[in-house]
Structure 1
Amino acid sequence: MIAPSGRPHGHAKYHLEGCRCLPCRVAASAYDRNRRRAIAYGRWQPFVDAEPVRQHVRALGEFGIGWMRLARLAGVSTGGLSKLLYGDRPRGLAPTKRVRPETALKILAVEPVLENLGDRTAIDGTGTRRRLQALVCAGWPQSELARRMCMDRGNFARTIDRSLVEVGTHKTACTLYDQLWRTDPAEAGIPAHRAQAARGIAAARGWAPVGAWDDDRIDDPEAFPDWTGHCGTPRGRTIHYRIKIPVCQPCRQAAQQLAAA
């Protein structure tokens, strides 16, 4: 039930507007009862120190999550976050010293994960490169991938080798990879000669195919492609020779370590 003032009936209206209707009295009574119980158990914390929350907000800012975006993600007011960081400048008030526990928990719950970053935030391009290169290995021409990503050919050519990419580009590449990695280019109308040309370019540049990557390692810069199922072990080099694929560096190192043992 909404009162004419716009504030819903409940605890706040009971105290701020003096309303004594049944819903307001019940809400106020429940609040006071819970408050007394919390005080009795030593758990009553109407406010907590704002500094750890402020530090978290600034840390998220370094990841490209601005305070206005953070307010939307956390479900808190932009005005409250502004005062937390900058105070109330028109009134000459310093940044907030204390915040409500529930507000602190909402803000602290926001982490700098990919889903929370803005599309223009620059991130490591390892996963993007590997996904796009693997699709070329599968026979998808770069011009076709560029078209599907709504990119011009020149920008795509830079993206497929770029060390940093924007979050939006990475998300688009992930979506495209999920759509195409099990699809034969011929089924999408790609002529055989164009698919073969794409595979030739990938082979010449040493790009790893889809099967060389595990989903949980493809974004890890420290991971290496497993061309043989045994890459990084002495057995891997033998399989490289058998399937006529150039020996990768991890297999070469494993063989050297075995010979030196």
Structure 2
Amino acid sequence: MTASAGRSHGNAKYHLEHCRCPVCTQAARDYENNRYRAIAYGRWQPFVDAGPVRQHVRALGEFGIGWIRAAKLAGVSTGGVSKLLYGDRPRGLAPSKRVRPETALKLLAVEPTLDNLGDRTSIDGTGTRRRLQALVYAGWTQSELARRMQMNRANFGKTIVSTLVAVGTLKTTRALYDELWRVEPVGAGVPASRAAAARQIAVARGWAPIGAWDDDVIDDPNAYPDWTGHCGTPKGRAIHYRIKVPVCRPCREAHAAAGQALAA
């Protein structure tokens, strides 16, 4: 699956693309409930129903984690997982109806975390966009960032505004951001004129600087940058005007709410 293709509504879209429509929300809820029940069964039964475990392994595939990789991550035999999914074809046997509880627990413990996802799996691009845009705001040119990411300039230009990106790109971006966010571009070899031009591009496009993002919100699609240090409070709007940055939505809403409170 390419980073721009998207995916059908369901559990994977809920987690990877942060879709919160009723279909995706219910699919994620059903999946987690099923998984927790299966784990609970494994605490006491000598054998457990293979159905929920098989569903979990197949669901991992939607996240780009194939069954062979899932088996390796779980530390179980690939032959056992093959029989779980496909049966014993040479012997004409159907997929397993039951599995040992320890095998079930190990497979159910494999989750589609960033470290487990395949590098080509597409994922929400919010954090990637924000990190790269913040680095440009700091004066890093897009050409230099592309070079450091070993990416051609055209692909970088798409990535910095993309809704979806590959997991490998997100990992590379995070590592680059951690390396550069405190480094002065000019001191690192970026010509001063080009650093200034990069900042002008970022300002013109409304990209937020590094200081506007905390680590715990930069990947959250519902979060807003804190441009002023007081965004979302009545103080924020005035600071926006003072630093000549367009007023953000949280500050507009806080200002309106304060006005309504005074009028009440």
Tell me the TM-score normalised to structure 1 length: 0.81
Tell me what 2:146 maps to: 146
Tell me what 1:21 maps to: none
Deviation at 1:152, TM superposition (A): 0.6
Tell me what 1:168 maps to: 168
Tell me what 2:205 maps to: 205
**1:1-261 residue pairs with structure 2 within 5 A?**
45-261=45-261
Bigger mean CA deviation after superposition, 84-93 or 125-134: 84-93
**Counterpart amino acid of residue 188 in structure 2:** A
Stretches of 4+ moved more than 6 A in 1?
A: none
Aligned length in residues: 219
Deviation at 1:135, TM superposition (A): 0.3
Q: Deviations over 1:201-236 (max 9, x none)?
A: 000000000110010110000000000111112210
Deviation at 1:44, TM superposition (A): 6.9
Tell me what 1:24 maps to: none
Aligned-pair RMSD on alpha carbons?
A: 1.3
Provide the C-alpha distance between the structure 2 equivalents of 1:132 and 1:87, rounded to a whole number of angstroms: 47
Provide the C-alpha distance between the structure 1 equivalents of 2:44 and 2:224, rounded to a whole number of angstroms: 52
Provide the C-alpha distance between the structure 1 equivalents of 2:245 and 2:163, rounded to a whole number of angstroms: 26
Deviation at 1:48, TM superposition (A): 2.0
Q: Deviations over 1:64-103 (max 9, x none)?
A: 2111110111111111111101111221111111111211
Deviation at 1:249, TM superposition (A): 2.0
Higher relative contact order (CA 8 A, sep 6+): 2
Pair 44,168 (structure 1): closer, same or farther in 2 beyond 3 Å:
closer
**Counterpart amino acid of residue 197 in structure 1:** A
Provide the C-alpha distance between the structure 1 equivalents of 2:135 and 2:44, rounded to a whole number of angstroms: 57
- Structure 1 SS opposite 2:223: coil
Q: Deviations over 1:91-148 (max 9, x none)?
A: 1111111111211111011111111100000000000000000000000000000000
Deviation at 1:253, TM superposition (A): 2.1
- Structure 2 SS opposite 1:107: helix
Bigger mean CA deviation after superposition, 225-234 or 247-256: 247-256
**Counterpart amino acid of residue 176 in structure 2:** L
Provide the C-alpha distance between the structure 2 equivalents of 1:247 and 1:139, rounded to a whole number of angstroms: 23
Q: Deviations over 1:235-261 (max 9, x none)?
A: 100111222222112211221232233
**Counterpart amino acid of residue 63 in structure 2:** F
Provide the C-alpha distance between the structure 2 equivalents of 1:49 and 1:64, rounded to a whole number of angstroms: 25
Provide the C-alpha distance between the structure 2 equivalents of 1:62 and 1:191, rounded to a whole number of angstroms: 45
- Structure 2 SS opposite 1:234: coil
Provide the C-alpha distance between the structure 2 equivalents of 1:77 and 1:120, rounded to a whole number of angstroms: 25
Provide the C-alpha distance between the structure 1 equivalents of 2:205 and 2:49, rounded to a whole number of angstroms: 55
Pair 196,98 (structure 1): closer, same or farther in 2 beyond 3 Å:
same
Provide the C-alpha distance between the structure 2 equivalents of 1:89 and 1:156, rounded to a whole number of angstroms: 46
Bigger mean CA deviation after superposition, 208-217 or 92-101: 92-101
Q: Deviations over 1:1-47 (max 9, x none)?
A: xxxxxxxxxxxxxxxxxxxxxxxxxxxxxxxxxxxxxxxxxx87442
- Structure 1 SS opposite 2:119: coil
- Structure 1 SS opposite 2:230: coil
Tell me the TM-score normalised to structure 2 length: 0.80
- Structure 2 SS opposite 1:123: strand
Tell me what 1:35 maps to: none
**Counterpart amino acid of residue 175 in structure 1:** A
Provide the C-alpha distance between the structure 2 equivalents of 1:157 and 1:71, rounded to a whole number of angstroms: 37
Provide the C-alpha distance between the structure 1 equivalents of 2:126 and 2:44, rounded to a whole number of angstroms: 48
Provide the C-alpha distance between the structure 1 equivalents of 2:253 and 2:206, rounded to a whole number of angstroms: 18
Tell me what 2:8 maps to: none
Query: Over alpha carbons, which structure has the higher Rg?
Result: 1
